Amino acid sequence: MEIIPAIDLRGGRCVRLLQGDYNRETVFSDDPPAMAKHWESLGACRLHVIDLDGAREGAPRNLEVVRSICGAVSIPVQLGGGMRDVEMARTALDAGVDRIIVGTAALDPEAARNFIDEIGQKIVAGIDARDGLVAVDGWLDTTEIGALNLARKLVGIGYQTVVFTDIATDGMLKGPNIPALKEMVEAVPASVIASGGISTIDDLRAVRSAGATGAIVGRAIYTGDLNLQKAIEALC
């Protein structure tokens, strides 16, 4: 299982939000590329970067910072936040990103299929759920669309990887929603990467036991609650 450090960007800085609330922000670094190099030095084999400004505004807003991150490390970087069309995705790929996470745009069947047709498996489905329902636009709005139903549809048209985030647990350091994760893993014949609430090595073991192929870790590695290097040595 991959353990993937998260770098959330807002205003060019590395931040973390509580449950996706833009009013509950903690700044952890003014130098995201240096942070990326730090996580790489501890053994990370991939980075998960989210453009929070882009997620809320509907278009990438921190692309130059993302370009600098990609240039600073030798490991692949996956990017989400504001990726609403193929042109935006291609611009990010040209900046050095390895794969693109599509969230809000994936709710439109035509757009979802177009991403796969044009870019292929460098496109990943990002499904963020609150109480089992899909949240969009930087988690500001919750739809009436079931997360499992959306995952099935996206996998049915060719998506092979799903990043599944449980918003209620995100940033809370209280453990992941394992029942919801198991439901997602069992619902789709795809690689499922878990995100939200992971704060201990035991949490990571539970995520692996649930069938996830990857785990995104955020606040816990910034606060020191989880030692990234020890976690990678124990599980990877």
User: In this structure, what token pair is assigned to residue 235?
Assistant: 């599980």
Q: Show Cβ contacts of residue 23 under 8 Å, excluding neighbours closer than 6 positions.
A: none
- What does the CA dihedral 163, 19, 172, 231 come to, rounded to 10 degrees? 20
- State the maximum Cα–Cα separation within the chain, in Å, rounded to a whole number: 43
Annotated catalytic sites, by residue? Answer: 8, 128
* Residue 224 burial (C-beta neighbours within 10 Å; 0-12, 13-18, 19+): exposed
Q: What is the CA radius of gyration of the chain?
A: 16
8 Å CB contact between 184 and 151: yes
Rounded Cα gap, residues 152 and 110, in angstroms: 15
Phi/psi region, residue 132 (left: phi>0; alpha: psi -120 to 50; beta: rest), is left
